[in-house]
Structure 1
Amino acid sequence: MSHSNQLINVTSEDNSGQGVGQRFFVGGAAHGLEKMKPFEPGDFLPEDYPEIDPQYLSPDIVSPVALPPSQSGIPQEAWLPAEWYRESSGSSVVEPDSVTEDNGRTYHGYKEGKYFLPNDAAEQDRLDLHHYSSRLMLQGRLYLAPIQSPKRVLDLATGTGIWPMEFGVLLSILIMCATALIVAIAQEHPECQVIGTDLSKIQPEHPPANLQFLRDDAEEPWEFGPERFDFIHARYVCTCFDNPKAVMQQAFENLSPGGWVEYCDSTVDVLSMDGSSQVVDVVERKMAGVVGPWCKSARLKQMGRVTARSFYDNVTGMSYKLFRNAGFAPEQIEEFAARFRADLLNPAIHAYFPV
């Protein structure tokens, strides 16, 4: 599902006629509801182009991974690459108001049913893996907008809160374990006040003093007070909003003069490497959300490995409520999930989702 015309007819002027903010798109989800076409090599910056690794496993040595594990006859430990194994981080937060569905997963209780992905420990691990994958895609960065010393920042649909935690409010113990880039970011924005909002309260219970987590619905009228934001960030929220245009409208209305909105998203189309409309005041950068370790670039290879792992572990949680609402039986969903996992392991498939 790609969202159409998200910024069309959105005013960016105050009463004086001066622009109150700028917009920054990461990715191509503003192209409308037309069928997505595969990105061309010329769509990418050179460092973003996902070139196929000539040393990657060739299709002629594919084992029966196209079959679900239960039918392939291959032991699970041999069928699943060892580097995809990952222990839970153990840092998940249990929300007392969560609702347990018939698939055993927990979902948000606040405005129950509005969002169809889980909020339990497995989903929190997936969100953190996706964050790591996103940083690899952005070459270690948390954002691309050219912001300068922001004083007030908002992260919509913050999930586990890992993005605002790393943005500028790291504790000293985290700084010691972080990359030099994160340290630089922490030093760049120590005075910044950061707010993260989400339907689920699954963020750390005792964040640093300049970080606040709020349980809030971004599609409802915003009530953050008269002070505007210098930077508003939203990432992978295509599953979150019924009316993304209204959310962006509120973002611009709550943006300081000269501030930035950075919106990073994708469609759910899966395109193949084998196989734009322009909006005023918007910078758009097309990237590939690589799925699987098929890229020549070591950075994109690792990104693809992490992304595939997050999908492998959580395909059922990501699809269960959606498919149940569409009338699928649980056993049909499990069969779909098994075949989806098999495709993730198929070296003949060089897949990505457009970002």
Structure 2
Amino acid sequence: MNGRTYHSDSVTDGEYWGPNDDKQNEVLDIFHHAMTICLDGRLYDAPLPKNPENAIDLGTGTGLWAIDFANKFPNCNVMGTDISLIQPSWVPPNLRFEIDDYNKDWAYKSDFFDFLHLRWISGTVKDWYAFYKEAYRCCKPGGYIEHMDASGTALSDDDSLTNVHALGQWGPVWQEGGRKIGYEIDLHSTNLMQNAMKEAGFVNIVVKDYKVPISPWSKDKKMYEVGLYFYTAINQDLEGIVQFMFGKVLGWTAEEIAIYIATMKKEMNSKDIHPYFIYRVVYGQKPLDA
């Protein structure tokens, strides 16, 4: 599509909005680094045991999180799954990547994984309640699931961002596109992550919100660095991020998309606008007596 490649199902059925080519994959790599800084070098927040045996990264993308996790726990069998084969071939010996679609039947063993991890997969799951129920089935009693995602709505604490700005319209436009293809984009306003996790049977659920600047405007050293990398990630391929949802799904013309992108980039470069996303981490545990 316009010189970009996508997973084949997304072209025919609208199942995934992101390209799977090298330019977009660099966005995922930079984003992983930004989130690692945001979490002060941590890969997760859940209180995992010192020696987990089996872990899975659902929607692994380029696989950087899974690689880092496998290196951290060399005795743990780690699996990363995705619908596109875009992961590197040189990986730790305890890690393997598999092609799989979590919207279809899960073939994993029951009571198997010590840790199920998912990050930035909003707009890819058809039925979140069914998803979490399958995750619960596959989770080992005492094991954990952790999900990190954003609502997509840009905010500012000083009212420097309004709904007149292109950045201010980002969330509503994406959410409308998600509704058109039947995928939930906003996982925050209805507390969907924690509600679906609780209904599936997980307990000891913890919710943490992290403020992620969209550009390097913050005077705080850490937040400035997070904003710098997040800004770099978005600017790396803003065209690839929006062209499927805005063009194919919502029917924007190429000219309209180009104008929107130019306006958004101008706003991200402005020192007068202080936008951020909230990335929410929700983790929960499967009861020991499950």
Instruction: Report the TM-score, using the length of structure 1 for normalisation.
Output: 0.64
Give yes or no for contact 1:110–1:200 (8 Å, CA) kept in 2: no
Whether 2:110 is the aligned partner of 1:230: answer: no
Partner in structure 1 of residue 55 of structure 2: 153
Give yes or no for contact 1:117–1:318 (8 Å, CA) kept in 2: yes
Partner in structure 1 of residue 6 of structure 2: 107
Aligned match for 2:22, one of 118, 121, 139: 121
Amino acid paired to 2:65? W
Give yes or no for contact 1:110–1:199 (8 Å, CA) kept in 2: no
**Equivalent pairs, count:** 236
Report how far residue 146 of structure 1 moved. 0.6
Which deviations, in whole Å up to 9, do the C-alpha atoms of 1:182-223 show, x marking residues without a partner?
A: xxxx2xx11100010111110012433311111110111111
Give the whole-Å Cα distance in 1 for the aligned partners of 2:105 and 2:241. Answer: 28
Partner in structure 2 of residue 167 of structure 1: 69
Partner in structure 2 of residue 261 of structure 1: 145
Aligned match for 2:98, one of 214, 217, 225: 214
Report how far residue 236 of structure 1 moved. 0.9
Give yes or no for contact 2:79–2:95 (8 Å, CA) kept in 1: yes
Give the whole-Å Cα distance in 1 for the aligned partners of 2:237 and 2:245. Answer: 14
**Mapping for residues 66-215 of structure 1, pairs under 5 Å:** 101=1, 103-109=2-8, 112=11, 113-148=14-49, 149-169=51-71, 186=72, 189-215=73-99
Give yes or no for contact 2:59–2:118 (8 Å, CA) kept in 1: yes
Question: Which structure has the greater CA radius of gyration?
Answer: 1
Whether 2:229 is the aligned partner of 1:306: answer: yes
Give the whole-Å Cα distance in 1 for the aligned partners of 2:235 and 2:110. Answer: 44
Which deviations, in whole Å up to 9, do the C-alpha atoms of 1:127-181 show, x marking residues without a partner?
A: 0000000001101111011101110001010000000100123xxxxxxxxxxxx
Amino acid paired to 1:146? P
Tell me the SS of whatever aligns to 1:142: coil
Q: Which blocks of at least 5 consecutive residues in structure 2 are unaligned?
A: 160-188, 199-203, 280-290
Identity across aligned pairs (percent)?
33
Whether 2:236 is the aligned partner of 1:334: answer: no
Give yes or no for contact 2:109–2:138 (8 Å, CA) kept in 1: no
Report how far residue 109 of structure 1 moved. 2.3
Partner in structure 1 of residue 241 of structure 2: 318
Report how far residue 350 of structure 1 moved. 0.5
Give the whole-Å Cα distance in 1 for the aligned partners of 2:111 and 2:151. Answer: 33
Amino acid paired to 2:270? N
Tell me the SS of whatever aligns to 2:65: helix
Runs of 4+ more than 4 Å apart: 276-280
Report how far residue 271 of structure 1 moved. 0.6
Give yes or no for contact 2:110–2:137 (8 Å, CA) kept in 1: no
Tell me the SS of whatever aligns to 1:285: strand
Tell me the SS of whatever aligns to 1:196: strand
Whether 2:189 is the aligned partner of 1:288: answer: no
Instruction: Report the TM-score, using the length of structure 2 for normalisation.
Output: 0.77
Give yes or no for contact 1:191–1:210 (8 Å, CA) kept in 2: yes
Q: CA RMSD in A?
A: 1.7
Whether 2:237 is the aligned partner of 1:353: answer: no
Taking structure 1 as reference, are residues 133 and 216 closer, same or farther at Cα in structure 2, changes over 3 Å only? Answer: same
